[in-house]
Structure 1
């Protein structure tokens, strides 16, 4: 599979440099093709949680129903400060709608749930993020898309514990690397699938990174995405590369239910387009 390079200048941190990877370095257990990986799967019966800025559920570019929830700052029945409730505000930033559109474009039949934790300025609290992620893990989603991260070190330990808990519970977290060369979380924890960007125009073109910590690169430049109110625009960033990988994982799980995070990483590495 090939892609056509775009002409847009690409200055996002954690971006592909176009390096190839020697297949012998991948230590794959067997030969894996895209036909084996997903074949005709469209992600049916795969539950995906998008933790972001909400969604415009009426946008036709989402390709189907989306359950819209948010984190409310009031105690739940267990006495915890935050609870998950229906979202009546929608997407005030456009970021979540864009990511939802990419996920659905890649895996049209997945069951998509949005949990809003970011406001109009793409700002939110670490506590809300932790609460949303804990809820998603407890609810047993197959995949969680995190096209966001935090630089706040006070949340690092709790996030690390939570993504490890997700890993062992069979919940795969696909997390975006920061767009700048800064330290942030949880993308650089090994229990998540971390994603940066490449500038190829092909949506299914994926690279395995020969120089971690970020593990995979997906399309993240001039990606056409839906925006609140029914419009569309072209956006760039690791945020929009991440849902491409989430969608690929949904297709794999649609064909091979129950694959844990580690095995999904193997599959992505095996089908990477930069293997030589």
Structure 2
């Protein structure tokens, strides 16, 4: 796989968006200006976004509340099973709050849902990741932000099946590539919106990568992000680029309800900064 190394100080896969960049692509001939056609006036209203992560601090001023919350926990009596625990919860780490706040900043009208699958060490069982996707499908989410991944080959086929199920259910899975080189899932799958970080200050920065498996690059380096207890921290990573893309997807869906994942991908491809 090309461009695995992100370069000095950059997450893996980000190298494709630095230097000479990923090269030019030819997008759909959308009406000009293309970004206005894509999302002008779309603030995320009517779009349900699941933050599949460590939980969300609903009281953080940058989050602006959540519509609901569930925790997906491994079932004690089944290695590959899980259970759903409904009800408000805290963010056990801060990571989910950061992602939720980024989505809210780009698409203030979205309906945010916290789907907690990670613990206080920012780790979780892959069965919970799978359960989070299944919950999002079953509960009519339009977008799922997954700034997490699994390296387990054991779960490759199961997560692939879940990603395909989401694709055909019109659930946009927006997934972070790992910050370290090597394959991780579900970010490797063609059915998801895979994302790596690129430098810059523009929250609407978007580039399309011509060297798979990562497709999209978005702002994710040296950011001030929301954290627990109403605080902020400075952070970098593919994790924080991903909710930028999730927010853009929500805006497209808000303006053009009913688009399928491949249609939304085509729109983002067309409005990418390296698209002709």
TM-score by length of 2: 0.90
Counterpart in the other structure of 2:4: none
Instruction: Give how far 1:212 is off.
Output: 1.7
Check whether the contact 2:53–2:146 (CA below 8 A) recurs between aligned residues: yes
Check whether the contact 2:206–2:217 (CA below 8 A) recurs between aligned residues: yes
2:175 paired with 1:175: yes
2:149 paired with 1:149: yes
Gaps of 5+ in 1: 1-8
Counterpart in the other structure of 1:128: 128
Equivalent residues in 2 for 1:220-231, closer than 5 Å: 220-231=220-231
Counterpart Cα distance in 2 of 1:71 and 1:124: 10
Q: Secondary structure at the match of 2:62?
A: helix
Counterpart Cα distance in 2 of 1:73 and 1:211: 36
- CA deviation vs aligned residue, 1:93-144 (integer Å, no higher than 9, x gap): 1100100110101111100101101001111111111111111112221111
Counterpart Cα distance in 1 of 2:247 and 2:169: 20
Counterpart Cα distance in 2 of 1:23 and 1:239: 25
Q: Secondary structure at the match of 1:49?
A: strand
Counterpart in the other structure of 2:84: 84
Q: How many residues align?
A: 262
Q: Deviation above 3 Å: which 4+ runs of structure 1?
A: 29-32, 72-75
2:42 paired with 1:44: no
Instruction: Give how far 1:73 is off.
Output: 4.4
Distance 1:201 1:126, change over 3 A: same
Check whether the contact 1:57–1:66 (CA below 8 A) recurs between aligned residues: no
Equivalent residues in 2 for 1:163-202, closer than 5 Å: 163-202=163-202
Counterpart Cα distance in 1 of 2:22 and 2:72: 42
Check whether the contact 1:226–1:232 (CA below 8 A) recurs between aligned residues: yes
Check whether the contact 1:195–1:241 (CA below 8 A) recurs between aligned residues: yes
Counterpart Cα distance in 1 of 2:75 and 2:178: 30
Root-mean-square deviation (CA, aligned residues, Å) is: 1.8
Q: Choose 132-141 or 59-68, whichever is displaced more.
A: 59-68
TM-score by length of 1: 0.90
Check whether the contact 1:57–1:68 (CA below 8 A) recurs between aligned residues: no
Counterpart in the other structure of 1:12: 11
Distance 1:143 1:89, change over 3 A: closer
